Structure formats: structure tokens, C-alpha cells
Structure 1
Amino acid sequence: MMSSFTLDEINAQPGIWRDWAAPLASRATGIREWIATRAPREIWLSGAGTSAYIGEALARQVTGEGPPLLPLATTDLVARPGLGANRPGPALSVQFGRSGNSSETVGLIDLLDAHMPGVDRLNITCNPDSALATRQGPGPGETQAIILPPATHDRGFAMTSSFTTMYLTALACLDAGFDAGTALPALSDAAAAILPGLWSLDAPRPERAIFLGSGELTGIARESALKVLELTAGRTLTQWDSTLGFRHGPKAAVDGGTAVFVMIHPDPQTARYDMDLAAEIRRQFPDISVTTIGGEGCDIALNLTGTAGDAVLYVLPAQVLAHRWSEALGLPVDDPFAGRNLTRVVSGVELYGWQR
């Protein structure tokens, strides 16, 4: 295995989570109190690409009392400002960003400043010098920013530790039942036990890879598919879907060169549907690879902790396999596109003013 920033960043996640546990637990308590005082009618979860998938997963993960969570990607809000401006308020905008400086990140900040100044903001970023970290709204909405540990500011092209740590950070701030002080060390131990086996899996690169999951794991499946697509520079085609949604047309993508990964949900009721689909695909396509990911008895067992943070463990196989398959293709893993048509931080998007 050749060294790379991406390899180091994947393997660094257990240590990052453990070190972040106590600071996050303290900060999250204050953020939850602030949210309760501000009493938003709804909470928007925004980001672009991988950062948007954090919101998609969280919106299906956080349960209990509190305002509804709406995944509204920055790419959607910037292109269609009315999606936010025409909603009843008050609202809290939670925006995620590794760099905190992408075109759409800045575009959403500008949009809130100009047209939705009453929206409160919680910005979660890995870059202390970014727009997300430093810009304050004009009011009357209030702005809070959480800066993640420096190690999460991935230097590789693909988001790995930034994705999982931003997810856990938001979970701690939005779900009072998630105790970061105890959950993150447990997740750290689980990930540290899993990773060595993932690097030695017998899993040759397929022509296409499909990732499936239910609930919050649908968002994790989407992120998993993107990791493989990115790090193999599009030479491994990928697809993602919900477990039950896959039968309704998308299963047409399966052929002899496909590898299917089915995430078995920790909830026993949900897991029945996941396991049924895995068995169905194996029966209908006996010559392809079908791999289950989840708790005890799965092909890839994750040492689940029983906390809401277990979702981050499900993305580790795709992170590792994407790196291995990229290396097998002879690509520079930290920049598979060699700066040609995709870049680590999206910039140069023309932003247009909006007239309400």
C-alpha cells in the first residue's frame, strides 16, 4: 500500500473522534441550549456534495422532540432561493463545509445576508480561516460556528475524516440523546478494530459498484458511492439507493460486472428488508459479488456500538475500497483527476443576484 494523505486521513479517524469527544460534548451542550432558546420552527441542513449527504443522513437519523430537520443542499438553495425564502420562519440554517469556501457555500451566506437575515446560522467547518468560520450575519439572526480539529481538514481530494467528524458533530448538537463524551470513544474503538481488516479484504475492483441502505444509511450509501466514483476517477461507475427503492427500476443497472453492497440497518425491523434484498440479489444474480455490511453475521462486521453515531462506521468500507481501487488503477489517490476537470474545492461558479 503506497502512502497518501487520503490513506492517513482514513486511518486517522479513530484518533480524531477520541480526541474530539470531550471538547465536542462541552460545545454541543451549549449549542443545544442556544437552539432551544432561539426556538426555530425548522432546521435546514445544507452543504454541497459530500457535505450535503451529511444532512440527508441526519434528517433520517435524529429522532425525538424538536423542530423538523430538512435537508436543503446549498446547491439547491443557491439555484432556487425560494426554497428557503418562501418557507415560514423562524429557521436555523446548519451549513457544513470542509473548506468552508466553495462557491455555493459563499453563495448561501450571501443569500441569507441579503434576503433572509432573520435566519439563525450554525456553521460547521474544518477550516478556521473560511467564510463559514469567520462571517457573521447582519442580524437579527444569530450565528454560531464550530471549527473542527485541524486533522479533519483533509488534504486529499476526497472527504473522509471531514465527513464523519462533521456528521458526529452535528449529531451531538441536534440530538440530545447522543452523548458525544461516551459515544465517540466507543466509535473510535470500533473503527480502530475494523480498519485493519478492511485494508486486507479480498475485493477486486468491479466495473460498477452499487451501495444500498435504509433510513440514514441511504445517505451513507450515497456518500459511499461518491467515494468510489471520485477516487477511481469515474472508471468505476457507481449507484446508490434505498433498500426498498432499489427494486423499483434502479435494479436494472445490475450486470455481470457489478458488486453490490447492502448495508444492514441496526434496527431489527429495518434489517429484515435489507437482508431480504441481499438474499434476492444473490438468488437472481448468483455470479456477482453481494456484500452485506453491518452488525454480527454480516460479511463485513462493524462492531456496532448501539449509538446513533454508528452510521459513520458504515462508510469506512467504501473509503478503504475506493483508495485501494484507485491505487490499483495507478491513479494518484490524493488527486485522481490530476487537476483536470474536478478540483478539491469547487470555485469559479458564477453567482447571480436574486430579485424576490
Structure 2
Amino acid sequence: MTDLNALGRWATWTEIHQQPDIWRDWGRALDVAGLRAWIASLDVEEVWFCGAGTSAYIGDIVAAGLEGKRFRSVPTTDIVSRPQAFLSGVRPLVVSFGRSGNSTESNGTLDVLDALAPTAPRLHITCNRDGALATRASAGPLKVIALPEATHDAGFAMTSSFSTMLLTTLALFDAPCDVAQRFAALSDQLRGLLPLMGAETPLPERAVYVGSGALAFAAREAALKVMELSAGQIPALWDSSLGFRHGPKSFVTDTTAITVFVSSEMPARAYDMDLIAELRSQFPMARVQAVGVGGDLDIAMPFGAVWAAPLCVATAQIAGVRWAEALGLNVDAPFTGRGTLSRVVAGVKLYPVVK
């Protein structure tokens, strides 16, 4: 059995548990009115959410959760490799996410914009006040949101950086609300949920996370957290609740931990619940957990499913740390000694932008 007190020696465990305090304080400090006014003043056709890895998944969650608007998730890894495919005859607001703000693809995207869309407005949301996203100038309109220093996670896995960048983006692009009040409510909710997420769970051989809409992409981030923290020793799959039956369900074994993020929205919630019943019937030996409205871990979603995404993902953050500890790994640096992955991605060679 994992000693919960011992987990406190890991920065990652602390960074997960500091999220309620960060959200509450940041909700009061963020200049929502000024930033929303600046965004409204821009003459843009689309808003692009750009990042790599977890930072890209923030864009996926937002674009899926805020329907009916011209929002696109465009990973920096795609922009850098095929810039002309995106920047042709369009003037977007490019919203860039970065924990360090120094990844090769973050810099490469800025190079692409300088070459092909120098006057396109940019909004940089970063956890590092000294990184390229925070310090590099632009020929066009630019705003930089430097999150609190505490969000600049020291651990390998992005946790508070992910959630705070996501909530910041929702505060700026979802329907107007009392952001300080909403962040405080989410803070209280996560604070109450975290002890419930600490229940002992057997170490699985595989993990699956599924959901609908924005929560499908929250499932993507959840699966990544488990793979990162376990250094790949626990393969993890993600999909949508309806898409999972179309082949990916073949991944499930009797020793798979399956988590379904249950939406508050209909008919998505009905499909989520149907899948849970099916999986429990077909795989009675597997552990199937419903996380969300009315689930085994009951997460209310008064502001909609997209705002609950960081609450759902926190379950995988907690599970990932516990499972990494059980595997005897360095939770803050699971790939120590391998040289295959690093906290800030390295080894990417940038090529010149062809105009």
C-alpha cells in the first residue's frame, strides 16, 4: 500500500495539490476585462490554440468545449512542419501555450509567424516569465499572460501548468462570467475531491480513459499523464465514448483500469453511461470507474463539462503518481538514465521557413 505521506517528497505530488490555491489566487489577479476587450478589438477571422503535447491538448479541450465559435486547435508541431498549409490567406489570433515557453516548436512557430504572418495578433500564455513566449517581440499586436511562478512545474509531468493555462483560456473565450467567483468555486471543488482521489487502486497493466466532447480530449491528457509518470510501463489509450467501440476496445484486458469521464451534457452523458454498463458486463475483471456527474467519483459540472476537465484530469495526475511510486520510479523525473525524454523537449532541428 502506498504511503500517502511519503508521496509528499515529490514535487509533482505537491504541484497537483497546490492547484486549488493557485486557481483561487489567479482568479482574483487575472485582468479578464482588459484582456477580453483587447481580444474583441482585433480584426481576426479565427482563434488558434497552439502548443505541443499537453499544451496542444489544452487547445483540443477548449476548441471541443466552446461550440459554435471559430476556434481551432492547431498544434505547434503541425504548424512548424507544414506552415503553408495553415497560414495561407487567413489572419488568426494565435494563442500559444507553454510551460517553459522555450520548446523548439514554440520558437519554431514564432519563426513561422514572423515569416508568413508577421502582423497576425498573438496571445502568449506561459508559466515562465523568462522564456521565449514571455520575452520575444512581435511586429503585430501581442499580449503576454505570465502565470504565477508556482505553475512552472518542476516535475516532468505538467499538472498545475496544464490546469491553470486551460482555465485562463476559458476565462477569456467562454461566455463572460465572474471569473474570481468561478475559479474559487472550482478551487473548493478540487480541494474536496483530492482526498477522494487518493483511494488505493491496484497497479494496472494498462489504462484507458474515455469521454465525450471536451472530456474526450481531457481523456487524452489523462492517458498521457499515466504514460509519462510510469515511463511507459503502463500503456494508456484514450478515445471518445462512442469511438471506443470502433476497434480501440480491443486494447482492454482483465487487468486494465478503465476510466470514463461522465459528461453533464445530454445526450453525451447517456452515451457515457451506456458504455460504462457495457464495459462492466463484458470485462467483469477489469476496473471500470465512472468519474463525473453521478459517477463513482461524483464531480458536479455546474459550469459545463469543459470547465470540469481539469477536475477530471486530476484523477489521472493522482493515479499516475501513485502508480509511478509503486513501480519504484522517480516521480519527478521518470526517464532518468534513459535520455529518451526530457522535461523541455530537446533534439528537434528547425528548418528554414520557405515563403
Determine if the TM-score, normalized by the shorter chain, exceeds 0.5.
yes
Q: TM-score, normalised by structure 2?
A: 0.95
Query: What corresponds to 2:296 in structure 1?
Result: 299
Query: What corresponds to 2:268 in structure 1?
Result: 270
User: Is the contact between residue 55 and residue 97 of structure 2 (CA under 8 Å) also seen in structure 1?
Assistant: yes
Secondary structure of 1:290's partner? Answer: strand
Residue from 57, 61, 71 that aligns with 1:57:
61
Is 256-265 or 161-170 further displaced after alignment? 256-265
Using the alignment, how far apart are the partners of 2:341 and 2:236 within structure 1?
A: 17
Q: Shift in Å at residue 304 of structure 1?
A: 3.5
Q: Shift in Å at residue 252 of structure 1?
A: 1.1
**Alignment map for 1:1-356 (pairs within 5 Å):** 1=4, 2=6, 3-24=9-30, 27-63=31-67, 66=69, 68-86=70-88, 88-138=89-139, 141-199=140-198, 201-295=199-293, 297-307=294-304, 308-338=306-336, 340-356=339-355
Q: Shift in Å at residue 90 of structure 1?
A: 2.1
Using the alignment, how far apart are the partners of 1:158 and 1:115 within structure 2?
A: 33
Using the alignment, how far apart are the partners of 2:177 and 2:297 within structure 1?
A: 25
Q: Shift in Å at residue 342 of structure 1?
A: 0.7
Matched AA of 1:299: D
Q: Shift in Å at residue 177 of structure 1?
A: 3.1
Using the alignment, how far apart are the partners of 1:309 and 1:238 within structure 2?
A: 24
Q: Shift in Å at residue 179 of structure 1?
A: 3.2
Q: Shift in Å at residue 322 of structure 1?
A: 0.2
User: Is the contact between residue 194 and residue 303 of structure 1 (CA under 8 Å) also seen in structure 2?
Assistant: no
Using the alignment, how far apart are the partners of 2:197 and 2:224 within structure 1?
A: 18
Is 120-129 or 172-181 further displaced after alignment? 172-181
Is 255-264 or 69-78 further displaced after alignment? 255-264
Equivalent pairs, count:
347
Secondary structure of 2:38's partner? Answer: helix
Matched AA of 2:144: A
Q: What is the root-mean-square deviation in Å for CA atoms of aligned residues?
A: 1.3
User: Is the contact between residue 32 and residue 172 of structure 2 (CA under 8 Å) also seen in structure 1?
Assistant: yes
Using the alignment, how far apart are the partners of 2:43 and 2:224 within structure 1?
A: 35
- Gaps of at least 5 residues in structure 2 are none
Secondary structure of 1:129's partner? Answer: coil
Using the alignment, how far apart are the partners of 1:271 and 1:292 within structure 2?
A: 11
Kindly tell me: are residues 256 and 204 of structure 1, through their superposed partners in 2, closer, same or farther at Cα, counting changes over 3 Å? same
User: Is the contact between residue 50 and residue 73 of structure 2 (CA under 8 Å) also seen in structure 1?
Assistant: yes
Q: Percent identity?
A: 49
Secondary structure of 1:315's partner? Answer: helix
- Gaps of at least 5 residues in structure 1 are none
Q: Shift in Å at residue 137 of structure 1?
A: 1.2
User: Is the contact between residue 32 and residue 176 of structure 1 (CA under 8 Å) also seen in structure 2?
Assistant: no
Kindly tell me: are residues 176 and 306 of structure 1, through their superposed partners in 2, closer, same or farther at Cα, counting changes over 3 Å? closer
C-alpha offsets along residues 53-75 of structure 1, whole Å, 9 cap, x if unaligned?
Answer: 000000011245x5x11110001
